[in-house]
Amino acid sequence: MKIFRSKQDAYLDRAISELRGEQPDAKTLSASAERVWQRLQAGEGEEAATSALQPIRGCADIRSLLPAFHQQELSPARTLIVADHLRECASCRSYAYGRGFDGATSVNWRMEPASRGFQWSIVRLSCAAATVALLVALVWTGHNWYFAGPPGNRARIDSIEGQAYGIGAAGERALKTGDEVGEGELIRTAANSHAQVRLFEGSEVEMNQRAELAVSASRRDTTIHLDQGSIIVEAAKRHTGHLYVSAPDCLVAVTGTVFSVNSGTKGSRVAVIEGEVHVKHAGLESILHSGDQVATTQSVGLVPVREEIAWSSDLDHELALLAEFSKLRTKLEEIQTPGPRYESKILPLLPADTVLYIGIPNLGDALQQANQVFQQQLSQSKVLQDWWNKSGNSNQHPTPQELIGQIQVISRYLGEEVVITARGSSASSGHGPPVLLAEVRQLGLKDYLQNHLADTLKSPQGIANLHVVDSQSLSSLVGDERGMVMLVRQNMLVAGGDAASVREMSAQLDAGATFFAGTDFGQRIATVYSRGAETLVAANLGQILNSSHTQQADSKALRNSGFNDIKYLIASRGESSSQGDNRITLEFNGQRHGIASWLAAPAPMGSLDYVSSNAGAAVSFVAKQPALMLDDIFSTIGASNPSFSQSLAQTNPELGLNLHDDLARALGGELTLALDGPVLPTPSWKAIVEVNDPGTLQVAIDKLVQASNRQAQKSNQPGLTLNQTQFGGRTFYTIQSQGAGLSTECDYTFADGYMILAPSRALLLAALQTHANGTSLARSASFRALLPSDNHANFSAMIYQNLSPILKPLSSQLTSGQLALLQQLAADAKPSVFCAYGESDRIEVASSSKLFDLSPGFPTLIHLLGLSDHGTSRQANP
């Protein structure tokens, strides 16, 4: 049977395949279509009438057609529909053939009515229109609220030198100090006039002569519309939004920045004094940082920032403020501070895994005296008052004066030393949270802290930021208690940022163990104490680095650099009536290698003989051979960048020389940089480099200049020119670069194993003359008096500064008032020297200068001196 069935299946499959493959011809298809059309026409009228009068929507309609169905009076189409339904529906089939069907039984099928689609009614149209109108109203209201900006005026005139005018819808008016300026009102300064404008959001704008601007604001942003002229903007710090300066050809976006915008007929120039500025112009966006500039057109050249803002009227104010700080510093130096300590009672009590130790004297009384000096001078100086109020310190709560007063009272309860320490128990950061310890020598400390300091340090929401406890109540604090915890023990104060760290230190004190004093780190700190120390900072950097997780590539680079063997960092400071004793020591495990070994052992420095005794600043050092230093650099970079060797192999052919063999080997390991001579119009810098092979070095310089010119030609930029001349039996070389309308020149010559570089030949001749006369800085008695007292006859590196010689060439560039202030600063300023010594397993930095000898106003003063560049007009338009 299976065989026959298989044959039947095969026949059936073949027949189906033949039917599928049979394609009727066009004549057959046409005849078939004609027959179908005739049949449709034959029943068209009846079908149309029946369909219109009696549509079939369910079982009830089918049953109504059954009498005609049995009498064969239905059209063929409806007959097929009824017959098909009777085969599918058992209920209707029983009804049709009288098989006991109960007519009351509900029918099984009902055709779902055809969807009529969504119909727009008057109500729906009204609701939709109302919704759209509401949305439009909300969007319009939000737009107006946001872009209309906050109510009120946009700026206030703080000061005017000369004349300034406001131009608005009501016409033109003369502005005076204190006047307010509304949205879009134009501010214009007259010729030889300046104005200080404070925006409503805190930013300050200084306007040069013939400048025009207006201010607009939204709820988020503020825009200065600069039509023409120069302005200097000190943008206020903002939590949201930006300050914009919109010039005719650029848009500047900033927040919390100091910058200048100079908009003229030829274009605009933006210069950054402090911070970061984004400038959009000509479809480009430039990101500028301090000292950077950008011009919107090629016809506007770049100038030094000091020239760009030389018209500023703040110069006198800044000089006066510096003079006040100078007076304050002189008075602070007269305050007696605690003398050096030769041991620490707290050091032995610390845990053995201590990685950070900071020991400072109890400065409560000295701090109170310093505050009295400051408050006295603050009450006598309007300039200092303005600075203090502007800094926001006067609005703090508690005020600095209140805090200092409380610290002074607390210090009376404590011993002579305060120690801040941290344990090496944190695998993620390398150390645990810091903890403060101090001996308690007087009863009543806990009550004072609870009654005075705890309430002062409460948050604005009334949450306690300080918890004062004793040994009994310490256990009641949970580990995640918010705020500082101060534990007042019988003879020790323990303070920390959380309860857990305070609890751990308290347990250590209860144990009474002295393990840390026996560790190598603890003994090293004790050695520093034995020499006498006022302030001491020590960190176990080796343990901290080992506890931190670094990537493998970074770890390899760290090993190649030599800093993976770092051990301790120890810094100490002490002062006597005549001089200070400040030292910083970086210790290593074993002999230094890699980059860490660059600083060579102390040695004589012949390069200092080319620096005069009137130099304003100098930096000098001896290092190992540059070829070996280059090897260290290549090794360190290659450890983290596998493709570095390939890039280096491509660089040497492009330069036309081998950096290692042709350049580095020709150089020695000694270098001195100095500011030696007039600072105007160009700073008189000089560099003295030790040279092993002048001929090879000169060939390398020639090739570098050629490579630079090839690269400049590709980018259509001006190149370099290298010329040489003979003068006085010596060859002088000059490298010049011409770009952006400015010419940069570097002159150099070779003498006695050194290459001397300076911005002019005259400075080279002066350096050679200093060397010949023996009147150099290194041979100056005043310089040698500043050197620290130790066992070294030489040093490995030296940093020197002396403000006074810089001021002499400036007398003709400043007003009498400005010059008097600068002379006062120069009289108060003291020169200082820092020396470094490279030993086999450590680097030590030492200075005999006192704390205030290196004036913090020195960099600011140099900047202000730059503003007085001679020949700079107060009118600086592109």
Does the pLDDT of residue 274 top 90, yes or no?
no
Does the pLDDT of residue 121 top 60, yes or no?
no
What region, left, alpha or beta, does residue 282 occupy, with left being phi > 0 and alpha being psi -120 to 50 degrees?
left
What average pLDDT does the segment 737-744 reach?
Answer: 62
Residues 824 and 473: their CA atoms lie apart, in Å, by 57
Q: What was the pLDDT predicted at 23?
A: 65
| Local structure of 285: helix, strand or coil | strand
Helix (H) or strand (E) holding 574: strand 566-575
Q: What is the pTM of this model?
A: 0.61
Backbone angles phi, psi at 333, to 5 degrees: -65, -25
Query: According to the 3-state scheme, what is the secondary structure of 376-404?
Result: HHHHHCHHHHHHHHHHCHHHCCCCHHHHH
CB burial class (10 A; 0-12, 13-18, 19+) of residue 627? middle
State the pLDDT confidence band at 416, using cuts at 50, 70 and 90.
very high
* Distances in whole angstroms, Cα of residue 718 to Cα of each of 699, 700, 710, 721: 22, 21, 10, 10
Cα dihedral 161/167/171/177 (nearest 10): -30
Does the pLDDT of residue 677 top 90, yes or no?
no
* Distances in whole angstroms, Cα of residue 218 to Cα of each of 169, 199, 244, 257: 20, 13, 11, 20
Q: Copy the structure tokens of residue 402.
A: 């209140």
What average pLDDT does the segment 559-568 reach?
Answer: 86
Q: What was the pLDDT predicted at 256?
A: 73
Residues 689 and 843: their CA atoms lie apart, in Å, by 23
Q: Copy the structure tokens of residue 727.
A: 């003068």
Does the pLDDT of residue 46 top 80, yes or no?
no
Give residue-wise pLDDT tens across range 704-724.
Answer: 999 889 888 888 888 899 999
Other C-beta atoms closer than 10 Å to the C-beta of 42 total 12
Does the pLDDT of residue 738 top 50, yes or no?
yes
Other C-beta atoms closer than 10 Å to the C-beta of 763 total 20
* Greatest Cα pair distance in the chain: 143
Q: What was the pLDDT predicted at 106?
A: 44
- Pick the closest to residue 863 from 683, 697, 621 (CA basis): 683
Q: Please check whether residue 273 is in contact with residue 309, taking contact to mean a CB–CB distance below 8 angstroms.
A: yes
Q: Angle formed by the axes of helices 44-53 and 26-42, to 10°?
A: 50
Site of tokens 């000096």: 373
What region, left, alpha or beta, does residue 192 occupy, with left being phi > 0 and alpha being psi -120 to 50 degrees?
left
Of the ranges 58-72, 145-159, 814-828, which is most confident? 58-72
* Percentage of the residues of the chain whose pLDDT score is greater than 70: 75
Does the pLDDT of residue 525 top 90, yes or no?
yes
Of the ranges 13-27, 416-430, 442-456, 733-747, which is most confident? 442-456
| Local structure of 118: helix, strand or coil | coil
Q: Please check whether residue 545 is in contact with residue 375, taking contact to mean a CB–CB distance below 8 angstroms.
A: no
Task: Using alpha carbons only, give the angle 546, 548, 551 rounded to the nearest 5 degrees.
Answer: 100
114: which residues sit within 8 A by CB, 6+ positions away? none
Helices and strands, counts by H and E, the chain: 28, 35
Q: What was the pLDDT predicted at 406?
A: 83
Domain limits, the chain: 54-103, 147-313, 344-518, 598-779
Does the pLDDT of residue 4 top 50, yes or no?
no
Q: What is the CATH number of domain 147-313?
A: 2.60.120.1440
Q: Which residues pair with 254 in a beta bridge?
A: 243
Of the ranges 72-81, 232-241, 791-800, which is most confident? 791-800
State the pLDDT confidence band at 130, using cuts at 50, 70 and 90.
low
DSSP symbols for 208-271: -TT-EEEEEE-SS-EEEEEEEEEEEEEPPP-SSS-EEEEETTEEEEESS-EEEEEE-SS-EEEE
How far the first Cα of the chain sits from its last, in Å, is 108
Query: Across all residues in the chain, what is the average pLDDT?
Result: 80
Q: Copy the structure tokens of residue 693.
A: 């092979």
What average pLDDT does the segment 791-815 reach?
Answer: 76
For the chain, the residue count is 878
Q: What was the pLDDT predicted at 114?
A: 47
What average pLDDT does the segment 515-534 reach?
Answer: 91
- Pick the closest to residue 231 from 218, 246, 216 (CA basis): 246
> From the centroid of its chain, how far is CA 155?
30
Q: Which residues pair with 739 in a beta bridge?
A: 742
What average pLDDT does the segment 263-286 reach?
Answer: 87
- Pick the closest to residue 546 from 426, 687, 667, 676 (CA basis): 426
State the pLDDT confidence band at 456, using cuts at 50, 70 and 90.
low
Residues 608 and 614: their CA atoms lie apart, in Å, by 12
- Cα dihedral sign, 280-284-288-293: negative
Residues 568 and 589: their CA atoms lie apart, in Å, by 9
State the pLDDT confidence band at 374, using cuts at 50, 70 and 90.
confident
Q: Which residue has the higher pLDDT, 834 or 378?
A: 834
- Pick the closest to residue 200 from 133, 160, 155 (CA basis): 155
Of 16-30, 392-406, 482-496, minimum mean pLDDT range: 16-30
